[in-house]
Amino acid sequence: MFRAKVNRNLSFLSTNSSRTTTTHGQHYQYLQCSKLPTLYFQRSLPRLPIPLLENTCQRFLAAVQPLLTPQEHGRTQQVVEQFRQGIGMELHAKLKAHDAENKHTSYISQPWFDMYLADRAPLPLNYNPLLVMKSDTRPEYQQQVVRATNVIISSLRFWRSLQADLLEPEVYHMNAKKSDTASYRRWMKVAPKAFATYASYAFKAFPLDMSQYNRLFGTSRIPRLGKDELVQSPESKHILVMRRGHMYAVNVLDSSGYIESPSVILGRLKAVLRLDSEREAAAVPLGVLTASQRDEWAKSRANFVLNPKNADLLQSEVDAALFCVCLDAEEDGIYNENSQEPLLKHLLAGKAQNRWFDKSISLLISADGTTAINFEHSWGDGVAVLRYFNELYKDTLQQPFVSTETVHTPAEGDFGNVRPINFEFDEVTKSAVEQAYAKNAAIVDSLDMHLLRYSHLNKLTCKQYGLSPDSIIQLSFQLAHRQAFDGYVGSYESCSTSAFRHGRTETMRPCTTATRDFCEAVLQPARSKPSAGELRAMIDKCSKVHGQLTKEAAMGQGFDRHLFALRQTAQREGLPIPELYETDAYQRINNNIISTSTLGSDALLAGSFGPVVKNGFGIGYSIQNEFAGAIVTTYKQQAEGKLFIDSLESAFDKICAVIKESSSSSSGNKENK
């Protein structure tokens, strides 16, 4: 939905060393200098609506129908009706009243933060997603320390633009050629701020909430017993650099807050590599603890900071860092087109020795320059991270400030700007690190990952046959599961509600009666199978239903977040949890066996996350110009990932065959007429 357009015209790039820059000049210090202030639309964004209780109940019943027998669905209808006429009405009224008292935000924002921060599960695999960036095909910019320097500079340019209100406002343009123009910006400039969003709607341009952006940098999740907290240090001038488990605080902004020159930042990273080469890998890699169960990490941290030196270093150098850069060693793996799984598993969760999963953003740079982002999820969602990810890719491609030929400014011995973080470890911490390493290693070893790249289905074929790409992919997931495991399960697709102030996400339920009917029909024996034309009509119905559900979710008219908020209201008010939440239907639909996420980005090489339930499938997918791709994660002995991915390929084959056959039949009929 939020697709970046990356300008691939690179002809103006110098093929020699770094660009000539005036380091304090606007061109170097800022990624963008928007005519409209970054938060120009924020004040006028509409509030996230609370759906009508009756609509939520109807949508819930429709969503659970394909998962239930007629008898089960009948019983569920009775419980839902009792809820709608009874306690549901009371909770809905209380939620509406609470929302009216907090007009500065959305009804879901705080409960959603609380949900994330109170969960005690480890961050890797359970929450932190992975985005892998396409590599730079020019060797002089792909080398590890060069790539790291350029992504650091571009990140800082993004951050400084955001802080200075110069980053372009996030706007979804229905027709970018008509609205993403200088004329549009001139009209918006004269629109009163209180109505700017509605003026933008006239151009079919939809401003998005940007309240999460200020937590992109300088933010850390701090483990606490029962519920974590987020801390921010937006005025920091250093980043955290990790190498073989060692940690370094590296200044990247000068005392006035300006980005240091490219040669200086390059020199400081090289100083880190030099320091690291002079010692063994960290004997006690503290970062492993950030992969722990959250209460365990909270206890370990509480003990660790009893030492005042550790407390000061942890707070000032680690928690306060703008972001984390993990420079991985050769033994951690490099990208192999023919065998991507080992590196992707390492980047997603890995051994955790060279990670600090609590940072809002971690840039992972492999020995071959492969670059990825692993991000902590509680502070924000994909819209903000994807914008940053796309801008980073575009800027490093169009304006890399250093290359392998750049002469760096030496920083060896400059311990004011390159500070090794040397903690003092007691036996309790050493033991905690060992235990955390063993637990994380066992979890990662239990993870399976399978990839599918299907060339017969891509953007061009979807356009050629008038198909909705996302709907077709989601239908394929349903068919794949039905073929492999003979049933239908709770399925999850995330949809952003960032068109509203402090919107987060809404759940779209892609397992529908329409997808079930198609799956049953296409799997019938040949003698009783509907014709290709009839099957194509069923595919079109699936797409129509899917499109309607997506539209409802994006407009804040789903049912999941409303039911979640009603349950939270009961807890806040000290009321009993309604029977609805104890039904098999509610439990079944929220046991997300199939959990999916897609990111539309020309910058993306791969995206992945762990299963959200032990016996589930975590599916990161995308449709590119050349292929449809999926990365499926499962836990061994819990779910059969290989069986699912093989079934998915078969599902693609079946659906493509129907589309082509129905198209041929339709063309033949037209010719005969």
606: left (phi over 0), alpha (psi -120 to 50) or beta: beta
Q: How many CB atoms lie within 10 A of CB 350?
A: 22
Residue 121, classed as helix, strand or coil, is coil
Residue 408, classed as helix, strand or coil, is coil
Whether 293 contacts 122, CB under 8 Å: yes
Distance CA 383, CA 537 (A): 34
Residue 61, class by beta-carbon neighbours within 10 Å (0-12 exposed, 13-18 middle, 19+ buried)? middle
Residue 275, classed as helix, strand or coil, is helix
Angle at 347 between CA 252 and CA 223, to 5 degrees: 70
369-to-45, 412, 553, 581 alpha-carbon distances in Å: 40, 23, 38, 48
Tokens of 138: 């020019």
One-letter amino acid at 536 equals R
Active site members: 377
- Of 584, 589, 566, which Cα lies nearest the Cα of 510? 589
Distance CA 631, CA 607 (A): 7
383-to-133, 322, 601 alpha-carbon distances in Å: 16, 20, 11
Distance CA 113, CA 565 (A): 12
Distance CA 56, CA 561 (A): 10
Residue 454, classed as helix, strand or coil, is strand
451: left (phi over 0), alpha (psi -120 to 50) or beta: beta
Q: Which residues contact 206 (CB under 8 A, 6 or more apart)?
A: 171, 172, 173, 174, 200, 499
Give the DSSP letter string of 290-301.
GGS-HHHHHHHH
Residue 426, classed as helix, strand or coil, is coil
Whether 365 contacts 371, CB under 8 Å: yes
At 647, which helix (H) or strand (E)? helix 641-672
